[in-house]
Structure 1
Amino acid sequence: MTMFLGTHASRIDAKGRMSIPSPFRAVLKDQARPGEPLMIIRPSHLHDCLEGWSASAFFTFSGALDEYDPFSEDHDDLATSLYADAYPLDCDREGRVSLPRNLKDHAGLEDDVSFMGLGCVFQIWNPALVEERRKQARSRTRDLGRRKQSTPREATAS
């Protein structure tokens, strides 16, 4: 399976377009299905950044809503959070996309942007915030590792 890996810099040009890094475009094209947009971009629900998904991964992920009563408030809240600000996008011939203003505002994107691969999804960040996020993630991961090491293992039955 191909994944979104690495951190890549890009810029928003004078016409409001930004280039999707070529390794990310390759993953998106690899996962593209006929008749679907190349990607879905939506605001992150955890951070001040955007999430980018291949359309097929997004539609598979959103299938989790099927577990909820479609007439319940939980379903309505989750569907609103997931779909209301999600935008299907395709790249032009040069690999550029134009983001809606509300997405740019959510992530504080102006001129420079940073793309961060997270495996099955990628994030688009204001470069002033992305390094702090990476530091925070590394620190929390170290803490998690320390907690796991200090937790006594349960004896296993032979």
Structure 2
Amino acid sequence: MSMFLGTHASRIDAKGRISIPSPFRAVLKDQARPGEALMIIRPSHLHDCLEGWSASAFFAFSGALDEYDPFSEDHDDLATSLYADAYPLDCDKEGRVSLPRNLKDHAGLDGDVSFMGLGRVFQIWNPALAEERRQQARSRTRDLGRRKSSTSREVPTP
């Protein structure tokens, strides 16, 4: 299975387009199904960034909504938060996409951008916020590792 890996710099051009990094385009093309958009871009629920999914991965993930009563408020809330601001996009011949203004505003994108691979998805960030997030994730991961190793030690018996 191909994955989104690495951090890549890009820039919003004068026409408001950004180039999807070529390694990410390769993953998207590898996972593309005939008749589907190449990718789905949506605001992150957790961070001031955008999430990019292959269309097939996005629709497989969204299948979890089938577990909810389609007439319930939970289903309606989840569907609204998942789909209302999700945009199917295809790249032009040069690998660029035009992002809707509301997505750019959500992530504070203007000029330089950073693409971060997260395995099955990628994120698009303002570069300063991307670096903050990477540092935060590293710190929290170190703390998690310390907590796990301290709880896995055997307690001596008297």
TM range, smaller chain: over 0.9
Indicate yes or no: 2:134 matched with 1:134. yes
Distance 1:105 1:32 in 2: 28
Where structure 2 has 5 or more consecutive residues not aligned to the other structure, the ranges are none
AA aligned to 2:18 is M
Which residue pairs with 2:30 in the alignment? 30
Partner of 2:72: 72
Identity fraction in percent: 92
Q: Distance in 2 between matches of 1:152 and 1:109?
A: 43
Provide the rounded CA distance (Å) in 2 between the counterparts of 1:126 and 1:97.
Answer: 17
User: In structure 1, what is the equivalent of residue 100 of structure 2?
Assistant: 100
TM-score, L = length of structure 2 = 0.96
Unaligned runs of 5+ in 1: none
Superposed displacement of residue 128, structure 1: 1.3
Q: Which residue of 2 aligns with 1:148?
A: 148
Q: Which residue identity does 2:101 align to in structure 1?
A: R
Give the secondary-structure state (helix, strand or coil) at the position aligned to 2:103. Answer: helix
**Amino acid of the structure 1 residue aligned with 2:73:** E
C-alpha distance in structure 1 between counterparts of 2:70 and 2:113, whole Å? 37
Instruction: Confirm or deny that 1:122 pairs with 2:119.
Output: no
Deviations 1:64-86 (A, max 9, x none): 00000000000000000000000
TM-score by length of 1: 0.96
Partner of 2:39: 39
* Equivalent residue pairs, number: 154
CA distance in 1, matches of 2:18, 2:61: 26
CA RMSD of aligned residues (A): 0.9
SS at match of 1:41: strand
1:105 is aligned with what amino acid? Answer: D
- Following TM superposition, the consecutive aligned residue runs of length 4 or more in structure 1 with deviations greater than 3 angstroms are none
Cα distance in 1 between the residues matched to 2:87 and 2:153: 46
Distance in 2 separating the partners of 1:116 and 1:10: 11
CA shift, 1:104, in A, is: 0.1
Q: Secondary structure at the match of 1:13?
A: coil
Query: Separation in 2 of the partners of 1:152 and 1:10?
Result: 43
